[in-house]
Amino acid sequence: MLSPHRRYRFRPRSLACWLATAMMIAGCSMPGADPYGSAVDQNDLRTTTTPGTADIDTVTWNLPYEPLSLDAMHSFNYAENTVIANMCESLLRLTPSLEIRPGLAVRVDKPDDLTQIYTLRSDVTFWDGTSMTAQDVAYSLNRQLDPDNASYFVGYYSHVKSIEATGAHQVTVRFTQPDALFEKAMATAAGAVSQQAFTERAGEGFGTPQGGVMCTGPFALDTWTPGRDLRLTRNDAYWDATLRPRAHHIDFSFIADESTAVNALRSGEVDGQFFYLPPAGLIQLQKDSNLTLNFGKSLVYFALATANANGPLGDVRVRQALSALIDRKAIAGVVMQGAGLPAPTLAGPDYWGYEKDAFEAAATRFGTDPDIERARGLLKQVGNVGPITIGVQGSSAVHEQTANVIQAAGRKLGLDIRTKVIPVEQFGNLYSDPTAREGLDGFFTTWYGNLPDPLEAYSMFVHDGTNNFGAYDAVSDQVNEAIGTLDPAERAQRVIAIQQKVTEDVPWTPLVYLPTILVQNSRISGATASIAYLYYPWAATVGGTEEESK
């Protein structure tokens, strides 16, 4: 699977500015207090906002860049999923509270560990009025399975043997081995359904501005003008009466420049936006009386991904030393402007969708405070360490400032940490093109998981894993065993053991947990506040407010 492309633009700030800010905050703190503070309370993250109370003609929503495709199987990305979630539904549904519930399928039966039978709703129609059939569903899932289609979600299909329509409203999936993640994945774009006839007719144009899509969701694709905007129109025949849209149209703009996007929100040109990294104008947005900002439950973490098994970061001791040097509280409090939480592991609390007590207890084994003496001892074992080159996204203040923090920490022990700026338009290539990673030892990633299961955060570390950029496979066998373990309690113990090993070996260095940042102006309300907006029809509950009716 591909990670989201990083297309946000940020205003750079210098190291001197960062240090001045950090010193100012620290200087105003009480002795023994956290010098950075946090605007985020992990125990008080939102899942929803108050549903709109009135119908509204048009809601204008900004995306951080223009979608590359609206084909669900090529949508492992922020802007794409933000749109597709309102159009193309999946067999199951990831709710705002990060629970998995029935979607286009009303139930899943498992006569044995190698079979899942999906019973489909009988009252669902596509936008053109034709009924959704089991053949449409089987076709959609088999598209994901076909290696020629290069689905970004094909990893979830690794153990699928066959997918067949076995009844008028029934699809049967058979496996080569038990798989604990597949059913959950059917609540993501991995389980999205499109009309077979339309998709085949569109061919390679499916999901493009010219070819369009044909799905079942509460909004239908109306127009897509490349480089300008994209419009969805309400589906008045939508099957789910509890999610009847209030808005007649959702117009998406593609303002990539961060300061321009913030100004568009403040001026009312744009009604709302989801941010996956804190914008430089976060405080302005928080203080604007015409805007409401919510922090929501999230499966997003900011990390340093190892990109080269043969460079300095290929040595576990160097990775451990670097991790021990990093002040995560500074990154969360200053770089992220308080809109983040120091991350001791990759899988944060919102991943704990089962056996929460076990995962919570396991998380206490790890801390986030720097340990200079441990780092010093590790580097002494290594001896000479060559230059470490980190890829940072061009125009990203978050990337630049985080690199500054790490460089300053590294200098204390003689580490030569360099940065290579990669243009924002090319940064996404790091996830799919090995040649794009040449010359890099690591790069920053804002990574999101799809499922409320900690195994999701570690499943990349397998032999030949698409996103296993540093070729770390010390837990490969354990990951496969955990995926094949259907008992939740037993699987949790396996995952905890994997987490222990990965956190010790730091193939990816966890830095900060990031909440979903949702901004809406006073004329609307109702958008989903959690990371579920990537797969849940979040715009269906957006409507006008009393302020709008005045």
pLDDT tens-digit map of 297-337: 999 999 999 999 999 999 999 999 999 999 999 999 999 99
Question: Would you state the structure tokens that stand for residue 524, as one six-digit string?
Answer: 């609307």
77-101 average pLDDT score: 97
Which residue ranges does the chain devote to CATH 3.10.105.10?
A: 300-514
Which residues partner with 223 through β-bridges? 231
Which residues partner with 119 through β-bridges? 107, 170
Distance CA 85, CA 218 (A): 9
Say if residue 10's pLDDT is above 50.
no
Q: Evaluate whether 62 touches 265 at the Cβ level (below 8 Å).
A: yes
SS3 for 407? helix
Distance CA 460, CA 468 (A): 6
Please tell me which residue, 372 or 429, carries the higher pLDDT value.
372
- Domain range 300-514, CATH class: alpha beta
For the ranges 310-314, 453-457, 517-521, 546-550, the lowest mean pLDDT is seen at 546-550
Q: Kindly list the distances between the CA atom of residue 378 and the CA atoms of 351, 385, 408, in Å, as whole numbers in the listed order.
A: 31, 11, 18
What's the burial of 414, exposed, middle or buried (CB within 10 Å: 0-12/13-18/19+)?
A: exposed
Nearest to 152 by CA among 207, 223, 212: 207
Distance CA 343, CA 458 (A): 15
SS3 for 164? strand
Neighbours of 489 (CB within 10 A): 10
* pLDDT on residue 547: 65
The CA-based angle 506-314-330, given to 5 degrees, is: 40
* pLDDT on residue 297: 98
SS3 for 402? helix
Distance CA 480, CA 373 (A): 36
Question: Would you state the structure tokens that stand for residue 157, as one six-digit string?
Answer: 């299909």
Q: Evaluate whether 454 touches 502 at the Cβ level (below 8 Å).
A: no
Q: Evaluate whether 139 touches 195 at the Cβ level (below 8 Å).
A: no
- At 197, is the pLDDT very low, low, confident or very high (cuts 50, 70, 90)? very high
- At 452, is the pLDDT very low, low, confident or very high (cuts 50, 70, 90)? very high
Q: How many CA atoms lie within 13 A of 54 on its CB side?
A: 13
Say if residue 20's pLDDT is above 60.
no
Q: Name residues whose C-beta falls within 8 Å of residue 241's C-beta, 6 or more positions apart in sequence.
A: none
Question: Would you state the structure tokens that stand for residue 202, as one six-digit string?
Answer: 């569109």
Q: What percentage of the chain exceeds 70 in pLDDT?
A: 92
Q: Which long-range contacts (CB under 8 A, 24 or more apart) does 234-240 make?
A: 235/127, 237/125, 237/127, 237/129, 239/121, 239/123, 239/124, 239/125
Question: Would you state the structure tokens that stand for residue 376, as one six-digit string?
Answer: 């010093």
* pLDDT on residue 549: 52
372-384 average pLDDT score: 97
* pLDDT on residue 77: 85
417-441 average pLDDT score: 91
360-373 average pLDDT score: 96
Q: Name residues whose C-beta falls within 8 Å of residue 115's C-beta, 6 or more positions apart in sequence.
A: 172, 173, 174, 175
Distance CA 164, CA 71 (A): 22
Counted residue by residue, the chain has a size of 550
Ramachandran sector of residue 119 (left: φ over 0; alpha: ψ -120 to 50; beta: rest): beta
Which residue ranges does the chain devote to CATH 3.40.190.10?
A: 67-251
Say if residue 28's pLDDT is above 50.
no
Average pLDDT across the chain, whole number: 92
- The model's pLDDT over 233-290, given as tens digits with 9 standing for 90+, comes to 999 999 999 999 999 999 999 998 888 999 999 999 999 999 988 988 899 999 999 9
Q: Evaluate whether 335 touches 437 at the Cβ level (below 8 Å).
A: no
Neighbours of 396 (CB within 10 A): 26
Q: Evaluate whether 75 touches 69 at the Cβ level (below 8 Å).
A: yes
406-423 average pLDDT score: 96
The reported pTM is 0.90
Say if residue 496's pLDDT is above 80.
yes
SS3 for 260? helix
Task: List strand residue ranges (DSSP E) for 122-280, in order.
Answer: 160-167, 170-175, 219-225, 229-234, 247-253, 272-275
Distance CA 280, CA 282 (A): 6
Question: Would you state the structure tokens that stand for residue 113, as one six-digit string?
Answer: 């560990």
Say if residue 12's pLDDT is above 60.
no
Distance CA 98, CA 453 (A): 10
For the ranges 151-155, 176-180, 209-213, 509-513, the lowest mean pLDDT is seen at 151-155
Distance CA 152, CA 448 (A): 14
Say if residue 338's pLDDT is above 50.
yes
Nearest to 440 by CA among 352, 544, 308: 308
Query: For 49, which DSSP code?
Result: -
Q: Which CATH architecture has domain 67-251?
A: 3-Layer(aba) Sandwich (3.40)
Task: List strand residue ranges (DSSP E) for 148-218, in order.
Answer: 160-167, 170-175
